[in-house]
Structure formats: C-alpha cells, structure tokens
C-alpha cells in the first residue's frame, strides 16, 4: 500500500496549506521526512520546477539511489505562442530540474498548468514532453489538472502516461468523469492529490477557519469523525485515502 502513496513537497520550500501553522520545515526535518519516506516504502515524490526550493532540497537530502519515483512539472513559459524557442526553453528547464534533483532520469514529467495546452503554441509543450521522453530523461509524461474540462483538454492533445488531479471525500468529480474512465482504461496512471484538502479534512471542526464554519466542510468532517481524538482522525484519514482508491476497489470486486 505505501508503495502507492506519494509525498507532496510543495510545503518543503513555502508556507503552504490551510492547516499549516508552522511554516516550512527546516533542512534537518526535511532530511528526516525523506529518510522516513524511503524507509517506509513510500512510492513517489511530487515536486515542480515552480515550487520554491523544493527540487534543490530533495536533491540535497534524498539519499542517492533511493527507489522513490520522482515526478516533477514543467516550468511556466510566458507567452508560449510568441517565445522564440519555447520547446528549447521547456527542455532547458527540465534539465535544470534534474540538476537540482541530482538525478539523471525522472519517473514523471507533467505539464504543470493544463490550461497551457489550450494556448497558442501548445504544440511546443507536447513536443518538449516527447523529446524529454525520447532522450531518456523521463519515463512517464502527463499533466496536472484541476477539473474534467482540463482532463478533456489533455486527452485531446496527447496520450498521457500520468494524470494528477484533486480527489477527496468532498470532491469526487474526476472519479465519476467519463474522460477519467477512458484514460484509466487506456492505461493512464491516475495520481490523486489533495486527498486531505490541504489538511482541512483532518482538522478538528473547531480549528477550521471561519469560512468553513456552519454548513459544508465542517459539518461533513464533524459528522464523519463523530468526535475528537486521534482515533477519529485516523478513521478520517483512512476514509480520505479510500476515496482516492475508489475505482480500483470497484474493479477488483467485479
Ligand atoms: N497543480 C498541482 O500540480 C498541485 C496542486 C496542489 C498540490 N500539489 C501537490 O500535492 C501535494 C499535497 O498537496 P495538498 O496540501 O493539497 O495535499 P493533502 O494531502 O490534501 O494535504 C496535506 C496536508 O494534510 C495534513 N495532514 C496529513 N496527514 C495528517 C494527519 N494525520 N493529521 C493532520 N493533518 C494531516 C498535513 O498538514 P501539515 O503539513 O500542517 O501537518 C499535510 O500538509 C503538494 O505538496 C504538491 O506536491 C500539486
């Protein structure tokens, strides 16, 4: 099971997350987190060119030769349609990601902003992904999406090996989309992110920001957790992870 879990690393270099009261971890803590992930058999690391310092911190503190499958994302290319050589710029950025990560091969390279695939010059992005793959820099290419419309846009542009998107107990829209089912049937790996909604779903309702008070999220969390304490938090985290694995269990039952 742990081999199918990934560690998100945007928090390594920036204060991120609704439940984050401590800011980003220090280098010693990052080294310990990575060591623990490797020792426990976690399968993937998610990072991005644009996550401040994240790739460099991983490069400095991840033990060389670890089995973690590293997935990073393309750098933003301003005015992709008018840039002089956008494909070369994207490939240069991939090379610098690998330098910072201190690896000579990546498991995955995702288009960070799927909407770029709808812009003038989108072909350069797909050509850069293909080129990175044929040069042997990455074994899987794909995209990160926020919703079904972006998923359909990705599907219309290339055949992704990986698609990453938000799936959680309050948002199962991707799981029920036809495009998701088609891609999955064709062998695309679906990487669920934000399964805890940045930690919101594991917060005690009383600690949630006022925006979530009353109806909606707080009520759902309170109802599912049914009280305070570590046990309920543990139940909730299992429910969150179970939601992200929903389709696979369904298929096994057939
Ligand atoms: N466009 C994109 O490609 C994109 C967008 C968003 C995120 N991501 C990736 O997805 C990763 C995760 O993002 P996310 O924040 O949305 O993910 P998430 O998995 O929904 O939430 C992670 C947060 O949940 C909290 N948490 C986890 N286990 C907990 C527990 N047992 N008890 C209490 N709190 C717990 C932690 O908060 P604390 O840190 O406060 O403990 C943790 O930071 C990012 O690091 C990034 O790599 C990618």
Q: 53 Cβ partners below 8 Å, 6+ apart? A: 12, 13, 14
> Do 57 and 172 belong to one domain?
yes
> Do 90 and 26 belong to one domain?
yes
> Do 179 and 247 belong to one domain?
no
Confidence at residue 227, expressed as pLDDT on a 0 to 100 scale: 47
The response to whether residue 108 sits with its C-beta less than 6 Å from ligand 1 reads no
> Do 101 and 162 belong to one domain?
yes
Nearest CA to ligand 1 atom 22: 198
Measure 196 CA to ligand 1 centroid, in angstroms. Answer: 6
Average of pLDDT values for 49-77?
A: 95
Report residue 43: phi and psi, to 5°. Answer: -90, -35
- Residue-level length of the chain: 254
> Do 134 and 72 belong to one domain?
yes
The response to whether residue 19 sits with its C-beta less than 6 Å from ligand 1 reads yes
pLDDT of residue 156 exceeding 60, the answer is yes
pLDDT of residue 246 exceeding 80, the answer is no
Average of pLDDT values for 160-181?
A: 94
The total domain count for the chain is 2
> Do 14 and 129 belong to one domain?
yes
pLDDT, tens digit, 9 for 90 and up, residues 106-155: 999 999 999 999 999 999 999 999 999 999 999 999 999 999 999 999 99
Confidence at residue 48, expressed as pLDDT on a 0 to 100 scale: 98
> Do 161 and 210 belong to one domain?
no
Mean pLDDT of the residues in the chain: 88
What percent of the chain lies above the pLDDT cut of 70? 87
What percent of the chain lies above the pLDDT cut of 90? 66
Q: Which domain holds residue 95?
A: 2-194
36-45, 64-73, 196-205 — which is least confidently predicted?
A: 196-205
Q: Where does the pLDDT of residue 80 fall: very low under 50, low under 70, confident under 90, or very high at 90 and above?
A: low
Report residue 214: phi and psi, to 5°. Answer: 80, -115
Nearest CA to ligand 1 atom 44: 8
Q: How far apart are CA 198 and CA 7, in angstroms?
A: 13
> Do 76 and 182 belong to one domain?
yes
- Beta-bridge partner residues of 8: 46
> Do 50 and 11 belong to one domain?
yes
Q: What CATH number did the domain enclosing 41 receive?
A: 3.20.20.100
Measure 48 CA to ligand 1 centroid, in angstroms. Answer: 14
Measure 18 CA to ligand 1 centroid, in angstroms. Answer: 9
The last residue of one of the domains, among 194, 211, 237, is: 194
> Do 90 and 34 belong to one domain?
yes
Q: Where are the alpha helices (DSSP H) in the chain?
A: 10-13, 27-40, 54-61, 86-101, 122-134, 148-157, 178-185, 217-225, 230-244, 246-253
The response to whether residue 237 sits with its C-beta less than 6 Å from ligand 1 reads yes
pLDDT of residue 85 exceeding 90, the answer is no
> Do 105 and 187 belong to one domain?
yes
Enter the pTM of the model. Answer: 0.90
The last residue of one of the domains, among 194, 219, 235, is: 194
Confidence at residue 220, expressed as pLDDT on a 0 to 100 scale: 61
Average of pLDDT values for 28-51?
A: 97
The last residue of one of the domains, among 154, 172, 194, is: 194
State which of 116, 199, 209 you would mutate to test the pocket of ligand 1, scoring each by most atoms of that ligand within 8 A of its C-beta.
199
pLDDT of residue 33 exceeding 90, the answer is yes
> Do 187 and 205 belong to one domain?
no
Number of the ligand 1 atom closest to the C-alpha atom of 234? 31
Confidence at residue 155, expressed as pLDDT on a 0 to 100 scale: 98
Comparing C-alpha atoms, which of 215, 177, 172, 214 is closest to residue 195? 172
pLDDT, tens digit, 9 for 90 and up, residues 218-240: 556 555 555 444 556 777 888 88
Confidence at residue 254, expressed as pLDDT on a 0 to 100 scale: 40
pLDDT, tens digit, 9 for 90 and up, residues 182-208: 999 999 999 999 999 998 888 887 788
Measure 135 CA to ligand 1 centroid, in angstroms. Answer: 32
Q: Count of CB atoms within 10 A of residue 96's CB?
A: 13
End-to-end CA distance of the chain: 21
């Amino acid at each position: 099971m742990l081999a199918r879990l990934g560690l998100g690393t945007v928090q390594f270099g920036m204060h991120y997350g609704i439940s984050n009261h401590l800011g980003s971890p220090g280098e010693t803590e990052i080294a310990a987190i990575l060591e623990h992930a490797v020792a426990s058999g976690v399968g993937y690391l998610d990072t991005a060119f644009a996550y401040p310092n994240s790739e460099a911190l991983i490069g400095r503190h991840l033990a060389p030769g670890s089995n973690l499958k590293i997935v990073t994302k393309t750098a933003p290319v301003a005015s992709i349609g008018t840039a002089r050589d956008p494909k070369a710029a994207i490939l240069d950025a991939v090379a610098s990601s690998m330098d910072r990560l201190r690896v000579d091969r990546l498991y995955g390279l995702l288009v960070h902003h799927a909407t770029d695939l709808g812009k003038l010059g989108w072909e350069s992005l797909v050509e850069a992904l293909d080129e990175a793959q044929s040069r042997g820099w990455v074994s899987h290419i794909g995209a990160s999406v926020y919703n079904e419309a972006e998923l359909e846009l990705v599907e219309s542009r290339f055949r992704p090996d990986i698609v990453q998107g938000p799936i959680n107990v309050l948002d199962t829209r991707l799981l029920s989309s036809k495009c998701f089912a088609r891609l999955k049937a064709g062998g695309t790996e679906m990487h669920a992110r934000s399964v805890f909604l940045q930690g919101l779903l594991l917060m005690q309702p009383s600690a949630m920001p006022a925006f979530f008070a009353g109806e909606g999220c707080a009520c759902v969390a309170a109802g599912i957790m049914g009280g305070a304490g570590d046990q309920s938090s543990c139940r909730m985290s299992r429910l969150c992870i179970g939601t992200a694995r929903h389709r696979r269990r369904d298929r096994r039952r057939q």
